[in-house]
Amino acid sequence: MSKADKVIQLYNKYVMNTYKRAPLCPEKARGAKIWDINGRSYLDFFPGWAVSGIGHCHPLVANAVAKQANKLMHVSNNYYSQLQARLAKKIVEESFPGKIFFANSGAEANEAAVKLARKYGHDKGKYEIITMTKSFHGRTLGMISATGQDKVKKGFEPLVEGFTHIPFNDIEALKEAVNEKTVAIMFEPIQCEGGINIATKEYMRETRKLCAELDIIMILDEVQTGMGRTGKMFCYQLYGITPDVMTLAKSLGGGVPIGACVAREKFQDVLAPGTHASTFGGSPLVCAAALAVFEAIKKEKLLQNTKRMGVYLTKKLEGLKKKYHFIKEVRSVGLVIGMEVGIRGEDIYKKCLDEGLLINCAQDTILRIMPPMTVTKTDIDKAVSILDGVLSKV
Ligand SMILES: *Cc1c(COP(=O)(O)O)cnc(C)c1O
């Protein structure tokens, strides 16, 4: 029995079976490379499910965490933490004037955004929040209610009231859905779990206009698209608009659990003392990590690399599309890339794993390829050649 098999045996006995797991047991990693417990190495083109956006164990992040762990890991939120203050300032400087609430995950960041919206609308009798079909906002009871996919809701009814789902990129559907009870609209600028569906410029601008006119809070869930992966620090910056509220998590901490809800000035004081809290939220340990992520992006010019490598990888995938008739479309923004293969993606993803390449599959037929922002041409050439080999055999 291999070392990995022994771990899998323990999982089968002691860990709740809530995930479909691939038979891989990583032990260490760096950048786009990951080694399993049996000693085999893999090229990771979906590091940490978009958490390790600047690559696994980035040295700046690893050192910041190690240093902070020996100094002060946690401060309760009834005191002040210098690192939380500095991180809040940094996020505001990179986005828009406002204030931050710190949480520990994407779902929690979205919960904060939704509670902010509910509180804002409460005295006017407004509480409805419009979200999109094929969206994904997390797995708390509130966020499965917000998410526009039946598969996450099934079996957990009754759900939280007040969410309406409409088709994405359909401004008429939005206009129709808005009513006197609507307080907010929440969506991802790119639906990643939904299969890499990209908001159009028109949709974003029209939505922004409508929200301003009707005093509706525009919430963008940038949990997966934030922190540089699109070539801009935040995806909304590609559209020339500013949301009212933005949520972040995944790669914000470079590997440690952190979430953030960013509210612009008009909404920054809606949540007052006693209305919302998180015990772990914004601890010195995770804030030190997130500050190091911002530092790494700047120091190593990772936004530029993301843009360049995004174009390079997309071109290569377009090449595969020409070669294999079954591939329907390649959709990409920076290093957020989806390849609609038109056949079962799970088989392809599993064969890539066998060949030493980690990717992901969303919505059954869409390969999700999101290498770290530090990725090189050499990595890309290797990954595409593995994928090419796998595709040639289907
Ligand atoms: C992953 C994700 C979430 C949920 O984040 P968790 O940290 O798993 O709670 C929410 N929204 C989007 C867009 C995501 O990609």
CATH T-level assignment (fold) for domain 60-299: Aspartate Aminotransferase; domain 2 (3.40.640)
Which atom of ligand 1 sits closest to the CA of residue 191?
13
- Torsion region of 47: left, alpha or beta (phi above 0 gives left; psi -120 to 50 gives alpha): beta
User: Do 3-54+301-391 and 60-299 fold alike per CATH?
Assistant: no
Sequence ranges of the domains in the chain: 3-54+301-391, 60-299
Ligand 1 centroid – CA 282 distance (Å) = 17
- Going by alpha carbons, the residue nearest to atom 10 of ligand 1 is 137
* pLDDT reported for residue 306: 98
* pLDDT reported for residue 87: 98
Ligand 1 centroid – CA 111 distance (Å) = 11
CA dist., res. 21 & res. 30, Å (int)? 22
Determine the residue of 152, 193, 197 to mutate for testing ligand 1's pocket, defined as the one with the most ligand atoms within 8 A of the Cβ atom.
193
Is the N-terminal amide bond of 189 cis, ω within 30° of 0?
A: no
- Parallel, antiparallel, or unpaired: how do β-strands 357-358 and 41-44 relate? parallel
If the chain, 394 residues long, is cut into consecutive pieces of 10 residues, what is the mean pLDDT of each piece? 95 97 96 97 97 98 98 97 98 98 98 98 98 98 98 98 98 98 98 97 98 98 98 98 98 98 98 97 98 98 98 98 97 98 94 98 96 98 98 95
* pLDDT reported for residue 238: 98
Pocket of ligand 1 (CB under 6 A): 105-107, 110, 136-138, 188, 192-193, 221, 223-224, 249-250
Q: Which CATH number among 3.90.1150.10, 3.40.30.10, 3.40.50.2000, 3.40.50.20 corresponds to the domain 3-54+301-391? A: 3.90.1150.10
* pLDDT reported for residue 145: 98
Which atom of ligand 1 sits closest to the CA of residue 247?
11
Cβ pair 353, 211 in contact under 8 A: no
